[in-house]
Amino acid sequence: MLSPKLIAGSAAVVALGSLGLFYLLSANSSDCGASAVAGGTAAIGGQLDLVDENGVAVTEQDIITGPTLVYFGYTYCTDICPADMARNAEAVDLLDQAGYSVTPVLISVDPGRDKPEVLKEWTDYLHPRMIGLTGTPEQITAAAKAYKTIFRVPEDTSSDDYLVDHMTQTYLMFPETGFVEFFSRDDTAEEIAKTTACYIDAAT
């Protein structure tokens, strides 16, 4: 597994003054931006039956209790997942500074290696509120299907250094409305924070 101490180095942390942060997150709530989703936004999300990083069985009602950034990845990922999740953690910190509480979540697409204790070490290093989720292959497949995302574990997993192909979007989810928006790898922490704050303001 990639050492957690090597993870944070893959994403730069941007320090912002209070005035700059206020400007960054003061978006017009009527113009948050909306991604086009085939089948409509109601087609994304839904029931989750997974196991959290403490070994506890959880559902979507336990996980999405407030604004939540959901990402499908895995801890043995060599570069993309650490960078994306560090960026999501940075966005959450920017939102914290502006008075918005958002939870970052990693749903593992590698249940064979990502046991709860492995996830806990990885997520706790990146952010104290980050939640790691795993489950059986069937549970992970069902979660990916609900979120309209794709992953592929190789047939030969005898070597511990195999790679898992997966999509890299981050989903913004609200408990009341479900899917709100998604972010690509090109979106920065600042852009994610700004858009997320806009949607939170629009919902209140």
What pLDDT, in 10s, does the model give residues 39-69?
Answer: 445 689 999 999 999 999 999 999 999 999 9
For residue 54, is it within any domain?
yes
Using CB atoms within 10 A of its CB, is residue 129 exposed (0-12), middle (13-18) or buried (19+)? middle
CA dihedral angle for residue 150, residue 118, residue 103, residue 109, rounded to 10 degrees: 0
Share of the chain above pLDDT 90, in %: 73
For residue 83, is it within any domain?
yes
Name residues whose C-beta falls within 8 Å of residue 49's C-beta, 6 or more positions apart in sequence: 57, 59, 135, 139, 142
Q: For residue 193, what are the domain limits?
A: 44-203
For residue 6, is it within any domain?
no
Residue 98 sits in a domain of what CATH number?
3.40.30.10
For residue 24, is it within any domain?
no
How confident is the prediction for the chain on average, in pLDDT? 85
**pLDDT over 50 at 92, yes or no:** yes
> Which pLDDT band, with edges at 50, 70 and 90, does 34 fall under?
low
For residue 73, is it within any domain?
yes
For residue 144, is it within any domain?
yes
For residue 2, is it within any domain?
no
> How far is CA 4 from each of CA 127, 139, 160, rounded to the nearest angstrom?
11, 26, 17
DSSP code of residue 113: T
110-156 confidence digits (pLDDT tens): 999 999 999 999 999 999 999 999 999 999 999 999 999 999 999 88
Instruction: Quickly tell me which residue has 């993309």 as its tokens.
Output: 80
Give the whole-angstrom CA distance, residue 167 versus residue 148. Answer: 10
Q: How many domains does the chain have?
A: 1
> Which pLDDT band, with edges at 50, 70 and 90, does 188 fall under?
very high
pLDDT value at residue 39: 46
Q: 51 in helix, strand or coil?
A: strand
Name residues whose C-beta falls within 8 Å of residue 69's C-beta, 6 or more positions apart in sequence: 88, 91, 92, 102, 103, 104, 105, 170, 171, 172, 173, 183, 192, 196
For residue 70, is it within any domain?
yes
Share of the chain above pLDDT 70, in %: 81
Instruction: Quickly tell me which residue has 């918005």 as its tokens.
Output: 100
Give the whole-angstrom CA distance, residue 53 versus residue 130. Answer: 10
Q: Choose between 129 and 5: higher pLDDT.
A: 129
Whether residue 24 contacts residue 190, with contact meaning beta carbons closer than 8 Å, is answered with yes
Give the whole-angstrom CA distance, residue 69 versus residue 199. Answer: 13
pLDDT value at residue 35: 64
